């Protein structure tokens, strides 16, 4: 045993109570985050300010005592690092200059990339020093399919028509974009681990938008290549994979990518989660709206998940990120229920 509950679980140990952390545990539902955010200016500025990014990462650790801290950043720091314009517009979300053609995809320049995003590594190093020794430090990146969706669509999308059009009709250009993002993601996570991250998480938040015929080469294969290359550099690092919305294809994702643990979205039935847990540790999958609702609904949903999954290696988490309207007292109640 390492003395770090999350790492013990990722090594296959069954913990009682299970370790717990929550996606987006640092963010807009906390008043202290809102105050810190005002000091930063824009959202990208906050992500690239080591002092403030470290502070907002630490805030939920101080308030709730989670078993893991996840680096405060954003999956779109990678496209920013490879030279795409990025801004976050109030009421609209992220906006990027969309890539229109294969000719706009640059070769990966590691030196230029690290120069642009190097402050993130400083944040990780600060967190490594600041965190209690029993609290795991999680680094992260977006998976190539999800990051590509923002780069091709120019922001969020309802139908991912441009991205799917590339995947179906322009396979050489699509492969070139995937290769760029695999290279950048490995380089980015390599430096996070070198700075002190013990675990990394790959967020494929829009994996559910990939049709079955595209899923393997757009979601599974790039993820597997990132895991393979990262573990060649850092054999000890643990990788949590999250293919949100993948449904029945989650089984293929878990089996073929080489991930160490599988994060489950809220739509994955617990019977399926139990079957997957027989193969690797699982994480999840409370509906974030149950956390907003609180009371009997939250207690019932939490009990249902704990009863189903506590018999195997399990990390309690949400099925997606905390939403801004979440009352902090509900998070406190959740942790009290899990820990007894």
Segment 160-184, tens digit of pLDDT: 999 999 999 999 999 999 999 999 9
Q: Give me the CATH number covering residue 109.
A: 3.20.20.210
pLDDT at 1 over 80: no
26 is in an annotated binding site: yes
93 is in an annotated binding site: no
pLDDT at 112 over 80: yes
* 285 upstream amide cis, omega within 30 of 0: yes
pLDDT at 100 over 80: yes
Q: Is 278 exposed, middle or buried (0-12, 13-18, 19+ CB in 10 A)?
A: exposed
Three-state SS for 306? helix
Q: Is 95 exposed, middle or buried (0-12, 13-18, 19+ CB in 10 A)?
A: middle
Tell me the pLDDT tens digit for each residue of 113-149: 999 999 999 999 999 999 999 999 999 999 999 999 9
E strands, the chain, in order: 68-70, 86-89, 93-96, 136-142, 199-204, 238-243, 261-263, 282-286, 314-318
103 is in an annotated binding site: no
42 is in an annotated binding site: no
Catalytic: 28? yes
Catalytic: 24? yes
Active-site residue among 33, 67, 74, 191?
Answer: 74
27 is in an annotated binding site: yes
Model pLDDT, residue 93: 86
Tell me the pLDDT tens digit for each residue of 307-337: 999 999 999 999 999 999 999 999 999 999 9
Active-site residue among 8, 28, 216, 229?
Answer: 28
Tell me the pLDDT tens digit for each residue of 208-247: 999 999 999 999 999 999 999 999 999 999 999 999 999 9
For the record, the structure tokens of 31 come out as 């008043």
For the record, the structure tokens of 233 come out as 């550099």
205 is in an annotated binding site: yes
Active-site residue among 37, 84, 191, 244?
Answer: 37
Model pLDDT, residue 89: 85
Tell me the pLDDT tens digit for each residue of 281-314: 999 999 999 999 999 999 999 999 999 999 999 9
Active-site residue among 150, 160, 188, 253?
Answer: 150
Catalytic: 74? yes
Catalytic: 244? no
Domain count, the chain: 1
Model pLDDT, residue 261: 98
Average pLDDT in the 60-84 region?
97
What confidence tier does 41 reach under pLDDT thresholds 50, 70, 90? confident
Model pLDDT, residue 200: 98
For the record, the structure tokens of 334 come out as 């959740």
25 is in an annotated binding site: yes
Catalytic: 37? yes
For the record, the structure tokens of 129 come out as 């020093």
Are 53 and 123 in contact by the 8 Å Cβ rule? The answer is yes
* Total-model pTM: 0.97
Alpha-carbon distance 279 to 262, whole Å? 10
Domain that holds residue 64: 5-339
Q: Give the DSSP H/E element, type plus range, for residue 236.
A: none
Residues whose CB falls within 8 Å of the CB of residue 333, separated by 6 or more in sequence, listed in order: 294, 298
Alpha-carbon distance 220 to 87, whole Å? 29
**Residue for token pair 């109570």:** 17
Residues whose CB falls within 8 Å of the CB of residue 175, separated by 6 or more in sequence, listed in order: none
């Amino acid at each position: 045993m390492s003395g770090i509950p999350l790492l013990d679980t990722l090594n296959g140990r069954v913990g009682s109570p299970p370790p717990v952390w929550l996606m987006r545990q640092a963010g807009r539902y906390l008043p202290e985050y809102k105050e810190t955010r005002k000091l930063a200016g824009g959202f990208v500025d906050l992500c690239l300010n080591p002092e403030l990014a470290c502070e907002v990462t630490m805030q939920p650790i101080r308030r709730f005592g989670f078993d893991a801290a996840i680096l405060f950043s954003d999956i779109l720091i990678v496209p920013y690092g490879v030279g795409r314009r990025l801004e976050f517009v109030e009421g609209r979300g992220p906006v990027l200059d969309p890539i229109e053609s294969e000719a706009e995809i640059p070769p990966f320049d590691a030196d230029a990339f690290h120069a642009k995003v190097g402050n993130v590594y400083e944040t990780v190093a600060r967190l490594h020093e600041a965190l209690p020794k029993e609290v795991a430090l999680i680094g992260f990146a977006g998976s190539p399919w999800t990051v590509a969706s923002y780069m091709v669509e120019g922001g969020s999308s309802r139908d991912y028509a441009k991205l799917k059009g590339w995947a179906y009709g322009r396979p050489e250009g699509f492969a070139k974009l995937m290769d760029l993002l695999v290279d950048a993601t490995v380089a980015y996570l390599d430096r996070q681990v070198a700075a002190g991250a013990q675990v990394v998480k790959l967020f494929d938040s829009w994996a559910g938008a990939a049709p079955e015929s595209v899923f393997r080469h757009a979601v599974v294969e790039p993820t597997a290549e990132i895991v393979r290359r990262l573990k060649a550099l850092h054999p000890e690092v643990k990788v949590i994979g999250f293919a949100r919305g993948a449904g029945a294809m989650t089984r293929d994702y878990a089996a073929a990518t080489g991930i160490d643990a599988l994060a489950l979205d809220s739509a994955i039935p617990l019977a399926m989660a139990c079957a997957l847990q027989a193969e690797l540790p699982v994480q999840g999958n409370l509906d974030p709206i149950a956390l907003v609702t609180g009371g009997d609904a939250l207690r019932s949903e939490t009990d249902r998940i704990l009863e189903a999954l506590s018999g195997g290696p399990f990390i309690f988490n949400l099925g997606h990120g905390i939403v801004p309207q979440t009352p902090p007292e509900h998070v406190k109640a959740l942790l009290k229920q899990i820990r007894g």
